[in-house]
Structure 1
Amino acid sequence: MHVLIATTGALSPGPVARFASRLAGDDKVTVTTVVGIPRSFLEVLRSEEWHPLATEDETANRKTQEETLVARYVEERGRKLTDPIIAALRADGIEATPVYLEGQDPAAVISRAAEDLDVDVVILGATRQIFDDWESVSARVMIESRRPVLVVPAPTGESRVDPNDGDWQESE
């Protein structure tokens, strides 16, 4: 069974790792997060992109540099958010594959990734009452994904601080 764990960094690593290891057994586990690129970051990159005397090679080089910077940002941010779960899985004897995704609509990106990766189940965290707000990422993935979705609630009394400073965290 291929398990996809999607996190914002708020999932409690231990319980999620134990749950995923029971589901996956010796099969594949992928841990992902969706990183939104701040518009200000892109605006700075693009403001340096256009130069009236630039050759086609220079323009192509600038685009390559932008793509490299964006990829590095997504990887650094993604690693920060997925490393705790990957470490917990490793402690349970499971090697997980990290996948860092870029996008402004996390629910759509996660649903598409579940299809692209051909996973058997998606594990998400619920950091608020998802049935009170149908616009939550977890609720949208349950509706939009063609894959089974398991929503793991935050343990009682656990801190619900947003580790992303405004990314797609669902805390109240």
Structure 2
Amino acid sequence: MKISLLLLIVTSLYSQSIDNLLNLFEKGEFKTVCQEGMGKVMRGNIDEDFIGVVGIACAEVDYINPLGIIQKSLKSTKNGRENAVYFSNLILQKKLIYHFMVDGRELSYLRLPDSSHILSVIFRHLSTEKYKTIKESPKEIKFSEDGKTYKLTLSVKDKPNKVFVDVYDVNGKKIESHWYR
């Protein structure tokens, strides 16, 4: 009897915790959803809808590395598989952008699925060669899209190197900053 009651309480608390994360997701608190949701995924949550929400939250706050863990779990439902492709694509784009910036890898022969995520925007410009090289060593490039200017800079003082992405509005004011490794 005591074990049944304890199990019921734990299940209820776990369910409330997931509901809380879904509410936070709806409010746009993606960082919290990503961090706490990843804890639940690592502890064995196998609900593909929940895992997909966690992955989308991580993508929204540019936490790309956890998507590798998440995408492996998404295979049982059509929606899960679609999310897995999206997450895998972001990981691949991140790696190819890094390879381009660090090693000078040619990307013009590659075509990948496109999205509105900043990694897709950057990859689209690199793979279609629609950018301007500012400096070769360390590499620095820029391009514009939809009234925004994107500037990618390779930092060689960081080990391993980092790729910094700064986004500027039409007035030249920095409105976003990202970095990838």
The TM-score normalised by the length of structure 2 is 0.28
Q: Which has the higher contact order (CA 8 A, sep 6+)?
A: 1
Bigger helix fraction: 2
Return the index of the structure with the highest Cα Rg.
2
TM-score computed with the length of structure 1 as normaliser: 0.29
